[in-house]
Amino acid sequence: SKMTVKAVKMPCTAPNVYTKVPDGGWGWTVAFAFFFVEALTYGIIKSFGVFFNDLMESFDETNSRISWIISICVFVQTFTAPLSTVLSNRFGHRFVVMAGGVLISTGMVTASFARTVVDMYVTIGVVSGLGYCLSFLPTVTILSQYFDKRRSLVTAVASTGECFAVFSFAPAITALKEQIGWRYSLLSVGVLQLSIVICGSLLRPIIIKEQEEVKAQPPEEPTETKYMLENEQTRTSIESIDSGVEITTSPSNVPGKTKAEPKSEEPKEHVQILVDNNSTPPEPKTKLLDFSVMRDCSFICYAFFGLFATLGFFAPSLYIIPLSLSLGISKDHSAYILSAMAITEVFGRVSAGWVLNKQPIRKIYIELICVVLLSVALFAFPFASEFWGLMTCSIFFGFMLGTVAGTHIPLLAEDDVVGIAKMSSAAGVYVFIQSLAGLAGPPLSGVLVDTTQNYSSAFYSCAAGMVLGAVFLSLVRPCKAGLCHRQQQRPEGSVAEVLPDLPDDFIEMDIGKAENSGKASDS
């Protein structure tokens, strides 16, 4: 008796195989993991401001030089997005996210021992910034693969982890600093971010295999071997003297099919070689980064939308408190304005996901309406002159920011942009383009503020960028519709003209040739 040993895989590590997009299943676990990844990446970045005053005092640096820590971190995070895509396609999303969690934790823990602000630039800016990219982008990409009809709603709800992290981490870190100091607090944050490794381990790969109808085939004699005859290989197999293969063409054979009968025991080996070489076609290699999306006009317009819209994402959060202080509002009330902005961002993300989950709906147009309203909110800030005016603008801006920030990357998976098949590569290129605005946006607003001595100019620049983004977003759908229309208008005969004129059944012609040569040799 023989013992059969089967490889046993852990349930949480084996890939999930579905006949269609599940819209649930293990996807709920992936959404749970994405919630915490969002909290431990963007949530920590937005809460890092609680360390600013401590870093300024410890390193004796200006606010501008300390702020470059986060600027470099955000730039590295977005600039290395194509690298994240390549690594995810090569090694899988799970491994990349787990590696990113290790980098984030390493950067933060090392930064707690920093002696200069330059050390912070390297540890948090470069090391942790790279880890943020490797953790966030693959997680949101694989989450989009698990959902189809519920994709917008699930992604929007899961992305609220960032907002809840701001509520919880900021006061918790502040209280922790009073007990153990900012260095040990930063060390604790780094250890906490190591839990991203656990979240990454939950990202099981997904495989979609369509069901195929299996037709029952009649049994065949064990001594007969079927093989394919194609082009020149057909002639070589028949005419070769050493092949050891005899072609029989009796009337009982089905046209287009042949039977290979070995003459002796040795020719069997030759027949088997033909089967191995010709029956299994080589599998196409998976592209690590598909740059064909750059030839898609709709994606180019969407990328420009992301480029200009990013100008309005970060600056309002940075300048809302200086603007309120310049208007004579107290620090406590200024903090309330920022908190209100974060709270309403949660409702904006959930509301956008709920609306975009409705079927049928053209999601790209809903996104365009949200971007236009977000531009209006940015233009309204300079006209506020007291507390309740700024509070109203912040609530409106936070809500609209949530509708756009929580959906602009998952929207790449829609057919109006690139589709789910190319989302992984498109997300890498898209976030890479965003990095340019992420690095230039805050310094540009700072230059305008220093030049005009008025914080309102920062909001005007953000609003102008958002308007340009709305213009390019409005061109996405027309470009996609025009591209599809041109493909449909392409004449069908053009494909046939490219192919050479082949006989209807070149296999039968080759068999006939073999029979004639056989008769000639017998005579």
Is residue 30, in this structure, part of any structural domain at all? yes
pLDDT of residue 184: 93
pLDDT for residue 245 is more than 50: no
Is residue 317, in this structure, part of any structural domain at all? yes
pLDDT for residue 441 is more than 80: no
> Range of 481's domain?
289-489
pLDDT for residue 311 is more than 70: yes
Is residue 330, in this structure, part of any structural domain at all? yes
pLDDT tens, residue by residue, 21-45: 777 788 899 999 999 999 999 888 8
Q: By the 8 A CB rule, do 163 and 349 touch?
A: yes
pLDDT for residue 508 is more than 80: no
Q: What percentage of the chain exceeds 90 in pLDDT?
A: 16
Which of 214-218, 267-271, 311-315 ranks highest by mean pLDDT?
Answer: 311-315
pLDDT tens, residue by residue, 379-403: 998 888 888 988 999 899 989 888 8
The reply to whether 70 and 187 lie within a common domain is yes
Domain limit, last residue, from 186, 210, 234: 210
Across residues 196-221, what is the average pLDDT?
71
Across residues 425-440, what is the average pLDDT?
77
Q: What percentage of the chain exceeds 70 in pLDDT?
A: 71
Is residue 298, in this structure, part of any structural domain at all? yes
Is residue 231, in this structure, part of any structural domain at all? no
Question: Is the model more confident about 522 or about 97?
Answer: 97
Across residues 192-203, what is the average pLDDT?
92
* pTM score: 0.62
Classify burial at 167, counting beta carbons within 10 Å of its beta carbon; exposed 0-12, middle 13-18, buried 19 or more: middle
d(CA 506, CA 485): 37
- Backbone torsion region of residue 181, taken as left when φ is above 0, otherwise alpha when ψ lies between -120 and 50, otherwise beta: left
Is residue 283, in this structure, part of any structural domain at all? no
d(CA 427, CA 349): 19
Nearest-5° Cα angle at 41, 35 to 44: 110
Is residue 509, in this structure, part of any structural domain at all? no
The reply to whether 65 and 206 lie within a common domain is yes
Domain limit, last residue, from 162, 185, 210: 210
Position 333, amino acid: H
pLDDT of residue 70: 82
Domain limit, last residue, from 184, 210, 236: 210
Instruction: Work out how many domains the chain is built from and give that number.
Output: 2
pLDDT for residue 340 is more than 50: yes
Across residues 133-155, what is the average pLDDT?
85
pLDDT tens, residue by residue, 454-501: 888 888 888 888 999 999 989 888 887 775 555 555 554 444 444 444
Domain with residue 403: its CATH number is 1.20.1250.20
d(CA 298, CA 474): 10
